[in-house]
Amino acid sequence: MAEWNQLNAKKEACRRVNSRRQNFTSLDVFHQRQKEEAQSAKYITQLVKWCDEHKYKVIFDPKYNDEIYQTRRLIKICSKPSLQSQLIGLIHECGHVILDESRDYWIKYERGWPKVRTKDKRLKKSAIHRIQLLEEEIEAWNKAEILAKELRIKINVKMFHQIKYYCLMHYVKFSARLSNMPY
Ligand SMILES: [Zn+2]
């Protein structure tokens, strides 16, 4: 689902991962990144096909947030960051597809993402809504990791966890914003 500051999170994750590569000469760094970007492009194509098999269309645009629209069978991916970051964003959204296809999804997360566009202000401010969002986000990241292994997609593990933690922290902060939330 849409992560509020996902682009910043991705940029920060790339910066942190790349700053550990100080032993490379600049040309080595360039070639290494080129190789990783080419590999990520291949994996993105593989995932788009996977989404197609699961009846989801994937579209890319620099103006988008990474987001899934289950009822429209649509995934939007921000094409601004590196392909490595886009790959991580896309595989996370695939994690949501897997959850959506699970038999108990609409029961388990009944008051989470399925209700995110509701006009029910009381529900949106409730602890259960926010905790269910957080639970689903964590679960979608877990499913994404399993899917990467199943499809033999080599993700940059450090970058994956950096992005995951930045995105999850948004939901943790969002969940904790109101101290006296009704249940
Ligand atoms: Zn999500």
Question: Measured in angstroms, how far is the CA atom of residue 133 from the centroid of ligand 1?
Answer: 9
Structure tokens at 79: 């094409």
Question: Measured in angstroms, how far is the CA atom of residue 1 from the centroid of ligand 1?
Answer: 3
The single-letter DSSP state of residue 80 is S
- pLDDT values of the chain reduced to their tens digit, one per residue, 183 residues: 554 556 666 667 666 666 655 555 688 888 888 999 999 999 999 999 999 999 999 999 999 999 999 889 999 999 999 999 999 999 999 999 999 998 888 788 777 776 666 677 777 777 788 888 889 999 999 999 999 999 999 999 999 999 999 999 988 887 777 655 555
Question: Measured in angstroms, how far is the CA atom of residue 25 from the centroid of ligand 1?
Answer: 36
Q: Are the CB atoms for 140 and 123 separated by under 8 Å?
A: no
Q: Is the pTM here over 0.85, yes or no?
A: no
Question: Measured in angstroms, how far is the CA atom of residue 11 from the centroid of ligand 1?
Answer: 17
Neighbours of ion ligand 1 (CB under 5 A): 1, 137, 140
Q: Which domains does the chain have, with CATH numbers?
A: 37-176 (1.10.10)
Q: Return the pLDDT at 68.
A: 94
Question: Measured in angstroms, how far is the CA atom of residue 140 from the centroid of ligand 1?
Answer: 6
Distance CA 64, CA 7 (A): 10
Q: DSSP characters for 82-113?
A: -HHHHHHHHHHHHHHHHHHHSTTHHHHTTTSG
In terms of Cα–Cα distance, which of 113, 117, 119, 118 is closest to 133? 113
Question: Measured in angstroms, how far is the CA atom of residue 182 from the centroid of ligand 1?
Answer: 24
Q: Return the pLDDT at 130.
A: 82
Question: Measured in angstroms, how far is the CA atom of residue 39 from the centroid of ligand 1?
Answer: 24
Q: Return the pLDDT at 5.
A: 58
Question: Measured in angstroms, how far is the CA atom of residue 26 from the centroid of ligand 1?
Answer: 35
Question: Measured in angstroms, how far is the CA atom of residue 60 from the centroid of ligand 1?
Answer: 16
